[in-house]
Amino acid sequence: MLATSEIELSQQALATNIKYLRSIVGPNVRISSVVKGNAYGHGIAQFVPMAERAGLDHFSVFSADEAFAVWQAVTGKSQIMIMGYIDNDDLEWAIDHEIEFFVFDMDRLIHSRDSAVRLKRKARIHLELETGLNRTGFDALQLEQVTAFLLENMDCFEIVGVCTHYAGAESVANYLRVKHQIKTFNKRVSWLKERGITPQVRHTACSAAAISYPHSRMDMVRIGILQYGFWPSKETFIDCMKYAANREDPLKRVIKWMSKVMDVKEVDTGEFIGYGTTFLVTEPMKIATVPVGYSQGYARSLSNQGRVLIHGDRFGVIGMVNMNLLIVDVTDHPEIQKGDEVVLIGDQGTLSISVASFSELSNQLNYEMLSRLPGYIPRTVVKQT
């Protein structure tokens, strides 16, 4: 049975994005490919081998179950790193498979030590430092205890990294806060070194920080949204264009999420489109229905706002996005027919849809909509688009 939509992933687009990223961070900074949220909806199983082909060999996920999915998908000797949730019962699996993980509380540190002792293997840890995001991470007061514990149990740990995460590097509104975080981080790392804790890799930057704060790049950057060909924010894009010779978007969308026109019909003046009264027809219209709605990940907030591509032209979503349907205004386009390809995210012809690139929608919607794309949508990898 055919699904109502499908996803194509472009190997060439990914290569373009990685090449661009490499040109920004230089040859000596390791790139960790962030593939949490099912690789931002691209699909871990399909995306991870693509990323390996593009030269990446380090993958970051949020949780142990995602690490397991990446572990199943890797073909090479790539390293996997868990940045967030691990049930204490899963620590043994992680340690036994040389999966690296963040440590941000004494409980995980103690359980890691115990698991490492049982397995007679070292836990490969990254010390997460609290520098101002106020989410997870050891704060200054805890570091004495952490240091003492590590020095006592040195044979149980390989301290691979030390890291932190910024409180909104994608917006200049947070400039002082981020700058302060970088300073705090460097100070704490020196403090650790003076006490004999010498992590191999310092890493703090997400996509936005890697672009806008060169000092945040350090030894490794954790890149999510950018590798998929989307900008963390308009500001980050503008920051990048400062260095660009031409003013063209250097990124290419890896994903192409597409469906087909299910039906076309004419609607008379004075009628409303779809549920409720959010869209009044003021002159005779032609509409096309597309069999994708909010249950398939097309955000309801795109009602009367979204854009799709058909025949290489842009068309507006009108009325409310339904559970399984959306409606598009194709007035004055007699050539559009049932069965025509509809691109919901990605490129068609010379145009491209990044969800948040129109209207007042925030780029956060890109993160949200991509990561909500259902796992059951068929995904295929193509060499080029």
Ligand X SMILES: *Cc1c(COP(=O)(O)O)cnc(C)c1O
| Chain residues 141-200 in contact with ligand X, contact rule CB under 6 A | 165
356 part of the interface to ligand X, by CB under 6 A = no
Query: Looking at 64, 95, 206, 381, which residue binds ligand X (CB under 6 A)?
Result: 206
Query: Looking at 15, 18, 31, 34, which residue binds ligand X (CB under 6 A)?
Result: 34
195: its two tokens: 């006490």
Write the DSSP assignment of 193-204 as a string of letters. Answer: HHTT---SEEEE
207 part of the interface to ligand X, by CB under 6 A = yes
Query: Looking at 44, 197, 225, 355, which residue binds ligand X (CB under 6 A)?
Result: 225
232 part of the interface to ligand X, by CB under 6 A = yes
132 part of the interface to ligand X, by CB under 6 A = no
DSSP state of 320: -
* Residue facing ligand X at closest CB distance: 224
Tell me, by CB under 6 A, how many residues bind ligand X.
13
CB of 248 to ligand X, least distance (A): 21
* Residue number, 23 or 380, with CB nearest to ligand X: 23
Who's near 164: CB < 8 A, 6+ residues apart?
128, 129, 130, 131, 133, 137, 181, 185, 204
CB of 206 to ligand X, least distance (A): 3
306 part of the interface to ligand X, by CB under 6 A = no
Helical H segments across the chain, by residue range = 11-25, 36-40, 44-53, 64-73, 91-96, 106-119, 140-152, 175-194, 207-212, 234-241, 364-371
CB of 256 to ligand X, least distance (A): 20
Radius of gyration of the chain (CA): 23
* Residue number, 110 or 167, with CB nearest to ligand X: 167
Distance CA 281, CA 315 (A): 16
236 part of the interface to ligand X, by CB under 6 A = no
Query: Looking at 14, 18, 123, 223, which residue binds ligand X (CB under 6 A)?
Result: 223
Give the x/- contact pattern for ligand X in 75-114, rule: CB under 6 A.
--------x-------------------------------
State the virtual CA torsion across 239, 244, 247, 250 in degrees, nearest 10: -90
CB of 334 to ligand X, least distance (A): 42
Cβ atoms 13, 352 nearer than 8 A: no
Who's near 247: CB < 8 A, 6+ residues apart?
241
Start-to-end CA distance of the chain, whole Å, equals: 25
Residues in the chain: 385
Question: Rule CB under 6 A: which residues touch ligand X?
Answer: 34, 36, 83, 165, 206-208, 222-226, 232
